[in-house]
Chains A and B, each alone.
Chain A
């Protein structure tokens, strides 16, 4: 069975602080994809990143960075120098199989609040 765990329900930081959102996944499949989505207060789900199980390179996109470690089944997300606009609920998700349009299994989400 597949499962995604986001142990942090809520995080509150002050603007310009760095913050890391944790994600731990479970799957017996060797081919899978990991995702992060952002859900701002307006409610839409915004795709942030996709990572496949064969690529453990960390990725950086502006203030965002992702650390994928298969050894610990983790795919953590770090926001550097957080801003108020980063306030949202962030979801980590898992999809198994390759290019099969597989379903996403979501974690429970982490609500990030960035205060000015």
Chain B
């Protein structure tokens, strides 16, 4: 089992550009979570899906952020347009039964 796969691992972009982060969850898991980690705010949930349906997006900071899960094996988190304050590590987690979550390696985003 390859675990949760995220790409890219690092992304450096300029303010105003569109950024797309990708996640492949563990096969058979029916929940997927996007978290963001910053020094100031720690680890915070952005959005999560259950059976490909968005359940709670209350953590999405603003309309510039959007997430999709077109099928059980793929999800994207898009930021458009990006701003320097979006710089963070973005984690995708795959949800197993009993609320257990396995995290991907993260994408370190830097917006200049």
Chain B residues within an 8 Å CB radius of A98: 98-99
Any chain B CB within 8 A of the CB of A75? no
With contact pairs A91-B43, A99-B98, A99-B99 given, residues A104 and B33 touching in the complex (Cβ less than 8 Å)? yes
Task: Report the number of A-B residue pairs with Cβ-Cβ less than 8 Å.
Answer: 62
Please determine whether B45 and A103 come into contact, CB atoms closer than 8 angstroms: yes
- A50 proximal to B (CB < 8 A): yes
Of the four ranges (under 10, 10 to 19, 20 to 34, 35 or more), the interface on chain A belongs to 20 to 34
Of the candidates B91, B98, B102, B106, the one whose C-beta lies within 8 Å of that of A33 is B98
Q: List B contacts of A95 (CB < 8 A).
A: 99, 101
- B31 to chain A: closest CB distance in Å? 3
B76 at the interface (CB under 8 A from A): no
Chain A residues within an 8 Å CB radius of B44 = 106
- Closest CB in chain B relative to A102 CB, distance in Å: 5
Bound CA–CA A75/B101 (angstroms): 18
A100 at the interface (CB under 8 A from B): yes
Once the chains are docked, how many angstroms separate the CA of A91 from the CA of B23? 22
Cα(A100)–Cα(B33), bound, Å? 13
Please judge, given known A-B contacts A43-B89, A45-B91, A91-B43, whether A101 and B105 are in contact too, CB under 8 Å.
no
Chain A residues near B56 (CB, 8 Å)? 103
Q: Are A45 and B103 in contact (CB under 8 A)?
A: yes
Q: Taking A45-B91, A108-B42 as contacts, is the C-beta distance between A100 and B99 under 8 angstroms? A: yes
B110 interfacial contact with A, CB 8 Å: no
Q: Does B73 count as interface, using CB distance less than 8 angstroms?
A: no
Task: Sort A-B residue pairs by CB-CB distance and give the 5 closest, nearest first.
Answer: A101-B31, A45-B103, A101-B95, A106-B43, A95-B99
Instruction: List 16 additional A-B contacts (Cβ < 8 Å) besides A43-B105, A101-B55.
Output: A33-B100, A35-B101, A44-B103, A44-B105, A45-B106, A47-B100, A47-B103, A100-B50, A101-B48, A101-B95, A101-B99, A103-B48, A104-B35, A106-B42, A106-B44, A108-B42
